[in-house]
Amino acid sequence: MSDMFALAMPWWEFMLRAVVVYVVVLGMVRLTGKRALGQITPFDVLLIVLLGNAVQNALLGQDTSLAGGLLLAATLITINYAVGWLTTRSRRVERLVEGEPVLIARDGRLLDSVLRRELITHADFDAAMRQQGCRGVDEVELALLETNGHITIVPRRRD
């Protein structure tokens, strides 16, 4: 019972581990691109579960105490809150954490190299067009891959 609150390492090491893991995992997620964040599939859920399990030892080390787990949870929630707070107050931090929208089509022309770089299939683009009332790419004035992974289509004006 006394081991429940006994930490296996100093409190500050838990916090340091949480900060390092948070920053590294955030960087890896950002490198995977916007599309990976835009749609949650069964594979994404599996990745999230496995990622959590993979970083568990990096966070906890040899500690299995209740206090260590709660300290880590509080640290991660605080870091997440701080990142959210910073992104609402700094355009530079917002761009670093969330990225910027990417142009994927303009004036009826699909930018295939951008689609490949952003890991967007033609089927995904076609579905976005249909959802927003366009029958073909020739009806698209502008298409953007938003920072949340969704595709926004601006149809051409019908004069």
pTM over 0.75: no
1-5, 26-30, 90-94, 106-110, range with the lowest pLDDT? 1-5
What lies within 8 Å, CB to CB, of 129 at 6+ separation is 135, 136, 137, 139, 140, 143, 153
The pLDDT value given to residue 14: 87
Q: d(Cα 27, Cα 114) in Å, to the nearest integer? A: 21
Whole-number percent of the chain with pLDDT over 90: 42
pLDDT tens for each residue of 106-159: 999 999 999 999 888 899 899 999 999 999 999 999 999 998 889 999 998 876
Q: d(Cα 137, Cα 95) in Å, to the nearest integer? A: 29
Average pLDDT over residues 85-95: 93
